[in-house]
Amino acid sequence: MSQRIAVILGAGPGAGAGIARAFSKTHNVALLSRNPATLSKTQSSLPSTSTSHPFPADASDPASISSAWEAIKSHWPEGTIDVAIFNAPGGGFSPGGFLSKTPEHLERGLKAGVLGAFAFAQLFLKEAKEGTLIFTGATAALRGGANFSTLSPDKFALRSLSQTLAREFGPKNIHVAHTIIDGLIDTDRVASFAGEAKEADGRISPDEIGKAYVYLHEQARSAWTQELDLRPFTEKF
């Protein structure tokens, strides 16, 4: 079995699980989330022949991420982490009028969506000699829509972080990319609040997100992509 390790912070049942399944074909997969139930759900969706392990971690707490990172290295002492995916949802999806929000709402998003990404990236970039660091972004990274005052700022900031790191670490053999997930992901949770998709393939398949991340990882360094958008064929944009 490969000694390569892919670390996924935000290994929830949507994009996270799809990314985990995709990398599980070639990598040991470290699944990180705050929520143990989430971790076992994702882990149980992986092929039985794959190797994975859950590590509790809170994306809004640099110390917690650091502890998980050490635990990963202890768990696979011969392994090399060459894929790091920051897939945490930031402040969570809770649109609403600006005056109904508090600075604490925003601060939560900035901590979970930016500060955690910063700490996670440092752990990877301190050690990696080569490999891929991907940040999962969203439409709200490109446009600050009305009622998105606690959702969009952390997404913009995460995109900025991905750019600054791509420019610093690209020449050092680390591929840093950012994705724009533009549309609803096809999960049970989304179906529970938004109903079924109106059309086949009208929601983004988690496994297709996974394929895209593996594609980014496998790009040769003469032709790296910094930003990749993904949306269903029917999506308005």
| Residues numbered 211-230 forming contacts with its own copies, rule: CB under 8 A | 211-212, 215, 219-230
What is the nearest approach in angstroms of its own copies to the Cβ of residue 31? 22
CA distance 194 to 184: 9
Encoded one letter per residue, x for contact with its own copies by CB under 8 A and - for no contact, window 87-106 reads ----------xxx---x--x
The interface with its own copies within residues 49-88 (CB under 8 A) comprises 62
Count of residues that bind its own copies according to CB under 8 A: 75
Give the largest Cα separation in the chain, rounded.
54
Give min distance, CB of 51 to its own copies, in A. Answer: 26
Which two three-digit tokens encode residue 95?
């649109």
The helix (H) or strand (E) run that includes residue 155 is helix 152-169
- Contact yes or no for 30/79 (Cβ under 8 A): no
- Which positions from 1 through 60 interact with its own copies, judged by CB under 8 A? none
Query: Which positions from 151 through 190 interact with its own copies, judged by CB under 8 A?
Result: 152-165, 167-171, 173, 175, 186
Amino acid at 235: E
Beta-strand relationship, 28-33 and 52-56 = parallel
Least distance to its own copies, CB of residue 173, Å: 7
Complex with its own copies: residue 51 or 107, whichever CB lies closer: 107
In angstroms, the CA 80 to CA 29 distance is: 11
Structure tokens at 204: 């983004």
User: Phi then psi for 150, rounded to 5 degrees?
Assistant: -105, 5
Q: Taking the complex as a whole, how short is the minimal distance between the CB of residue 28 and its own copies, in angstroms?
A: 25
- Of positions 9, 39, 119, 134, contacts its own copies by CB under 8 A: 119
Q: Is 112 in the site for its own copies (CB under 8 A)?
A: no
- Which one of 144, 191, 194, 196 is in contact with its own copies (CB under 8 A)? 144
Residue 216 DSSP SS3? helix
